[in-house]
Amino acid sequence: MSNINLRKEKEKVFYEHHINTFNAIGIIDPMFVIKTAFFKKGKFGRQSQFFEWELKKGQDIYVEFYDNVYDDNGIIVNILPMNEDRQLFKLKYNPYFYEEYDIIENYDLDGKVDKKFILPINEMMVVLSSGQEISYSLYEKRKEESKNDLPQLQKSLSLFPDFEEDFLKKEEAVKLVGSDFDIDKDKNDLKDEISKLNFEIKKLTEVITNYLNKLQ
């Protein structure tokens, strides 16, 4: 498969991942593209490249960034999302892009000038799954905070005792000591209550973890 066909195929797959977000925004037919984000000497932060025809359409452009996967011969064999959180970005239409963005000029096969524009991705807006937009700087801040919060959360969750494990240990101790009375019913009732409590703690853990992932 050629690089162009691979990119087109992956662009459809990436787009499908964001359909629910586009529905939340209320956009039926968004202009969506996938781009690489790279570092350029003399520029701050990652940059991205857009074609002249893309910017001339006069529309906001929705973007997800990707990384190329190469084989041992340097041939592109796959395209993968750059960000684990699969974040969607928006480049707002800028009618002054000729003046404000860096231009790279080449010539196509027909000898015509082919213009591409380089711009920093921190100028883009970040579109959350709810449809809300936040600035790139706030997005980066939240990602950094979530990285710092997660180890603390994991440490806190590790403090929860494993009630079932503790109960089984006590149950074994009772068996070793022996007993002259029937405790099966009370024992089973207690075990059921402990299982329910453990289940609720696990649910709470999942809710907190999912919340932190959404902040990334």
Q: What does the DSSP assignment read for 34-76?
A: EE--EE-TTSSSEEEEEEHHHHHT-S-EEEEEEEEEE-TTS-E
Is residue 194's pLDDT more than 70?
A: yes
A 10 A CB-CB count for 91 gives: 23
Is residue 172's pLDDT more than 70?
A: no
Is residue 199's pLDDT more than 80?
A: no
- CB 46 within 8 Å of CB 39: yes
How far apart are the C-alpha atoms of 216 and 208, rounded to whole Å?
13
Is residue 53's pLDDT more than 90?
A: yes
Is residue 160's pLDDT more than 90?
A: no
How far apart are the C-alpha atoms of 174 and 42, rounded to whole Å?
72
82: helix, strand or coil: coil
Average pLDDT over residues 175-185: 51
pLDDT at 169: 60
% of the chain with per-residue pLDDT over 70: 75
Each residue's pLDDT tens digit, 134-154: 999 999 999 999 888 656 656
How far apart are the C-alpha atoms of 198 and 204, rounded to whole Å?
10
- CB 158 within 8 Å of CB 201: no
More confident residue, 88 or 172: 88
Dihedral angle over CA of 176, 180, 183, 185, nearest 10: 130
The residue extents of the domains of the chain are 3-136, 160-215
pLDDT at 181: 44
- CB 64 within 8 Å of CB 89: yes
If you average pLDDT over every residue of the chain, what do you get?
84
Of 57-61, 65-69, 183-187, 199-203, minimum mean pLDDT range? 183-187
Each residue's pLDDT tens digit, 72-116: 999 999 999 999 999 999 999 999 999 999 999 998 888 888 999
DSSP label at 178?
A: -
- CB 37 within 8 Å of CB 82: yes
A 10 A CB-CB count for 79 gives: 20
pLDDT at 115: 94
28: helix, strand or coil: coil
176: helix, strand or coil: helix
Average pLDDT over residues 24-43: 96
Is residue 195's pLDDT more than 80?
A: no
Q: 102-107 and 76-81: which strand pairing? A: unpaired
